[in-house]
Structure 1
Amino acid sequence: MNSTPHDRPRILLHDPTLRDGHHAVAHQLDAGQLRAYATAANAARVPVVEVGHGNGLGASSLQIGRALLDDATMLTTVREALTSSKMGVFMAPGWGTSENLAAAVHHGSDVVRIAAHCTEADVTERHLGTVRDLGAEAQGVLLMSHMTGPAELAEQCALMVKYGAQAVGIMDSAGHYLPGDVSERIHAIAATVDVPVIFHGHNNLGLAVANSLAAVDAGASVIDATARGFGAGAGNTQLEVLVAVLERRGFETGIGMREVLAAADVAADRLMKTPPSIDSIAVASGIAGVFSGFKRPVLETARTVGVDAIDLFLALGERQVVAGQEDLIADVARQLKAATR
């Protein structure tokens, strides 16, 4: 007997095109671009559309990039376009504050993700509690999750559940994982917590869709994906491709196939100068395990200082540099330059 959409297992797709995609355009999306894509994603019945500076609430700064629009303008613009889809936001403690969270919920955010480095879930406690108190859905995600193993990730996720997270999971911030890596980590987390498990992939090694499927098979039920893979570095898991693959695998997403293809075309036409690609720098970033959003500053610094960009990525990987440590890029580049002399 053929299954119907009502008896197929459901995977919730979370779309950070208007947040992670900001990395690819130096955080310069304007209100018209935000509105155009949010309208198309809403028409496709995408469950959650995430918006904001690439590094989240409160992150617009000289150090990591000034956004064209402030948080309030971005949130208000997208909220007006979403008549059925939920609106999501992302915040990393240290960039954002409880005041940013309150403002985001005031502007209509339904889902709020609090992020932490993979071994530092304790920094999410106060903010997850704040989100619950504000009445929004609280989620916790661990960044640069390849830097530790399955058991540690499961423990950290369990802490976030204790703090109030209603869904928890991991981000492959550097696009470093192979499917087996994802399976081990998601399985460990799913066996430890009793809330939905999240996976967010990047495509530096060309495995974002395969890794997302591995996550689903291991127990994840919330998967991140962006239109045309629009995102940092080589881009994210490609939303429209993942919808098609999940449907073929017998999962229900609730997203209209024709409509999500139309939304992808809007993203290609309106949001991106060039589509994400797996170039040599993206591969080097994935191998080195360096945050995908470092691509632009690494290329600029390598050119200015006069060092090889791939060597710079590998050196940053050896030092386990993470997002927020952009100032170290120039220091490491100068050390490389001195060593070559």
Structure 2
Amino acid sequence: MKTLRLTDTTLRDGSHAMRHQFTRQQVRSIAQALDRAGVPVIEVTHGDGLGGASLQYGFSHTPELELIAEARSVCERARIAALLLPGIGTRKELKAAAERGVQVIRIATQCTEADISEQHFGLTKELGLEAVGFLMMAHMRPPEVLAEQARLMESYGADCVYIVDSAGALLPDGAYARVKALKEALTIQVGFHAHNNLGLAIGNTLAALEAGVDQIDGSLRGLGAGAGNAATEVIAAVLDKMGQNPGLNVFALMDAAEYIVAPIAPYQPLPDRDALTIGYAGVYSTFLLHARRAGELYHLDPRSILVELGRRQAVAGQEDWILDVALDLARRSQDKPVPQT
């Protein structure tokens, strides 16, 4: 039986929930606990990846390169990974991360924009690092389109390509079909990254496993954007009960989640009304605040704005659509005939 690989993203995706305020000591404690529990890969960066600390995405409490170095210094077995979104992170940040000890670069693009990642994969391989591709917002395109995009990443040098359910919008059959399509199209490994907006992070991860996935992601306590991620400690327990534990210490991960992450987490991610709306609409959680403001301006339920944005397949960088959508919805509501009594 092949060995499934888990990457823990507490120190990257969890950065969103922490408002990017992780301290050196927190990173050391979490990374050391994950390493001792047998987690093979630990991702450490700003929530929006290398170079993400900015006015637009939120400033970090501690520079991410220092956090990467702290994590690397306490890990005896685990490899350190970093996320890079072309256009936010550049070749400069990629090289700097490698100098601080990063061994895996995860290069993320919108699921139809793999072609913008070629130079980043090239540099990653030049530096002798493992290269992983991320196809974000994968619910927005059918499996065959994702397979085409994944083949591009493979041609650029990717060692693995992930289906990424950025909005937590996939159902298990959709997760299965997308992973299966990549498994049939590629000669490299396939990964799956889940979010829990519809309460299906673990279910979708199991569906990906059924489809033959090679790599999966989790975060302690589910700490992450929106309703959070598939919880690492839950994944470990479920895999163990299935007889497919790849070497994770279930009790140690439970303890890390309970005694290290829970005390510092500002809240417990869950599918509350806002997070559920994001998953139901299939849009980025960053749209939520803008939709609320537009809703107040035009006297609309912000959920209707988000659902319409999802119907139009809006992605990150298209926040300017929100006011246009709100205005369209407001005009439609005014044009409705008044019922006669």
TM, length-normalised to structure 1:
0.91
Residue 71 of structure 1: how far off its partner (Å): 2.3
Map 1:163-242 to 2 at 5 A.
163-242=156-235
Residue 137 of structure 2 is aligned to residue 144 of structure 1: yes
Conserved 8 A contact 1:233-1:295: no
Percent of aligned pairs sharing the same letter: 42
Conserved 8 A contact 2:30-2:261: no
Residue 27 of structure 2 is aligned to residue 34 of structure 1: yes
Considering only CA atoms, is the larger Rg found in Structure 1 or Structure 2? 2
Matched residue, 2:52: 59
- 1:90 pairs with 83, 101, 106, which one? 83
Deviates more, 1:8-17 or 1:255-264: 8-17
Conserved 8 A contact 2:221-2:262: no
- Give aligned pairs, total: 334
Conserved 8 A contact 1:175-1:292: no
Conserved 8 A contact 1:9-1:250: no
Residue 324 of structure 1: how far off its partner (Å): 3.4
Q: CA RMSD in A?
A: 2.1
Work out the CA distance in 1 between the residues paired with 2:317 and 2:175.
24
Work out the CA distance in 2 between the residues paired with 1:304 and 1:30.
38
Residue 65 of structure 1: how far off its partner (Å): 1.9
> Do the aligned partners of residues 52 and 241 (structure 1) sit closer, same or farther apart at CA in structure 2, a change above 3 Å counting?
same
Map 1:306-321 to 2 at 5 A.
307-321=300-314
Residue 144 of structure 2 is aligned to residue 156 of structure 1: no
> Do the aligned partners of residues 186 and 37 (structure 1) sit closer, same or farther apart at CA in structure 2, a change above 3 Å counting?
same
Q: Which residue identity is paired with 2:163?
A: I
- 2:95 pairs with 77, 96, 102, which one? 102
Residue 82 of structure 1: how far off its partner (Å): 1.7
Residue 259 of structure 1: how far off its partner (Å): 0.9
Q: Where do 4+ consecutive residues of structure 1 move more than 6 Å?
A: none
In structure 1, stretches of 5+ residues that fail to align are 1-7
2:131 aligned counterpart, secondary structure: strand
TM, length-normalised to structure 2:
0.91
Work out the CA distance in 1 between the residues paired with 2:294 and 2:82.
30
Work out the CA distance in 2 between the residues paired with 1:327 and 1:56.
23
1:13 aligned counterpart, secondary structure: strand
1:56-90 deviation per Cα after TM superposition (whole angstroms, max 9, x unaligned): 01122222222222222221222222222111100
Work out the CA distance in 1 between the residues paired with 2:236 and 2:293.
35
Conserved 8 A contact 2:17-2:266: no
Residue 305 of structure 1: how far off its partner (Å): 7.2
> Do the aligned partners of residues 330 and 51 (structure 1) sit closer, same or farther apart at CA in structure 2, a change above 3 Å counting?
farther
Conserved 8 A contact 1:268-1:275: no
Work out the CA distance in 1 between the residues paired with 2:263 and 2:90.
31
Residue 106 of structure 1: how far off its partner (Å): 0.6
Matched residue, 2:126: 133
